[in-house]
Chain A
Amino acid sequence: MREPDFRSLKSRLLGHGIAYRHADRVTDELRDHFNDLVEEEINSGASVVDASIAAAEKLGDLDIFIKQMQSRRELRSWAFRFPLVAIVLYPLGCLVALPAAPVVAGISHAGILARWGTSVILAGLFTASMLLVLQLSIALG
């Protein structure tokens, strides 16, 4: 069966900057459309091989299809629509966010951190007092 290369279509669309949700869905739609065309040809008396060839021709050239998708800016992923943001501002934003992340996490989990801090301090005091008792018992004899 001569089927267009749908497996590589999705990755080619992604490589040309089409957003994942469009690339994924349109590949499924095209495959379904191709199957419908094959079915139509078979119903009109063609053999499976001839039906597949005719269906692929009707569906059209996938290169042209990719160009049509690419020509629609609104279907591109944000990184391809705003390359300056993706290349410059996004990494800068990440650099700023990276040190801020533990602070934000600390604020949002303040209760847990307070309990943890208290237990660490209490455990430290207990250990220190036990060591002191041990030291005194050795020193005093």
Chain B
Amino acid sequence: MRQIGVFGISVMAKSNPPFMSGVPELLLLRLLHQREMYGYELVRSIRSVTSDAISLGEGVIYPALHGLERSGSLKSKRKTVAGRTRVYYSLTKKGRDRLDKLRDDWRRIQGGIETALETPCHA
């Protein structure tokens, strides 16, 4: 299966920002909607839930997390687990609203592409 890394997404985002730039954000918000997690856990979860189809560059997840926190969609807190201090992220009310919006946007795009793929071309 072809992997799309965040680096790949970033490159595409430069040429078409509204189309691809929300993908890592959507995935992060979706996963954090279930429970609070820290960065390493999130990368593993993204791989797991997307069956390795989307593999985030491990370090690149943090700018996205900090950006979402800055915009008020996430909140963070330090927790000591098994002797190690982790920064756990969780969703805020604003983040849930943002997730709903991104999900609707994504479904609309997905629906549009599926329609385009099913429509026979007469070029």
A residues neighboring B (CB under 8 Å) = 22, 25-26, 28-30, 32-33, 36-37, 58-60, 62, 64-65, 68-69, 71-72, 74-75
Contacts and interface: CB of A to CB of B under 8 A. Distances in A.
Interface of chain A, main secondary structure = helix
Contact of B60 (A25, A29, A32, A60): A60
14 contacts: A26-B66, A32-B39, A33-B39, A33-B43, A33-B59, A33-B62, A58-B58, A60-B57, A64-B7, A65-B59, A65-B63, A72-B66, A74-B67, A75-B70
A125 B66 CA distance: 65
Interface in B1-38: 7, 10, 38
Contacts of B7: 60, 64
Nearest to A70: B63
A74 B58 CA distance: 21
Given A22-B70, A59-B58, A68-B10, 7 more contacts: A25-B87, A29-B87, A32-B40, A32-B86, A33-B39, A33-B62, A74-B71
Contacts of B43: 33
Contacts of A65: 59-60, 62-63
Interface size class of B (residues with CB under 8 A): 20 to 34
Nearest to B86: A32
Contacts of A74: 67, 70-71
B41 to A, nearest CB: 9
Contacts of B71: 74
A37 B58 contact: yes
Contacts of B122: none
B28 to A, nearest CB: 14
B84 A32 contact: yes
B87 A68 contact: no
A33 B39 CA distance: 7
